[in-house]
Structures are given as structure tokens and as C-alpha cells.
Amino acid sequence: FSDPASNLGLEDIIRKALMGNLEERPE
């Protein structure tokens, strides 16, 4: 990985949170 943020899976978490994906949220 050349991008540390990609290494963390950060973009995936951010995109899901931005879309308000409630299924991804903990109860």
C-alpha cells in the first residue's frame, strides 16, 4: 500500500458513514 488511509480501509468507512448506512452502525 502506498496510501496509509487505504491501508486502514478508511475510505470505505467514511463513504459508508457519509451515506448514512445504518446497517453498518453498531447498536
| Interface ranges with other proteins (CB under 8 A) | 1-2, 4-5, 7-11, 13-15, 17-18, 25-26
Beta carbon of residue 26, minimum distance to other proteins (angstroms, whole number): 6
b/e per residue 1-27 (b: at least 16 CB within 10 A)? eeeeeeeeeeeeeeeeeeeeeeeeeee
Three cell numbers, residue 20: 448514512
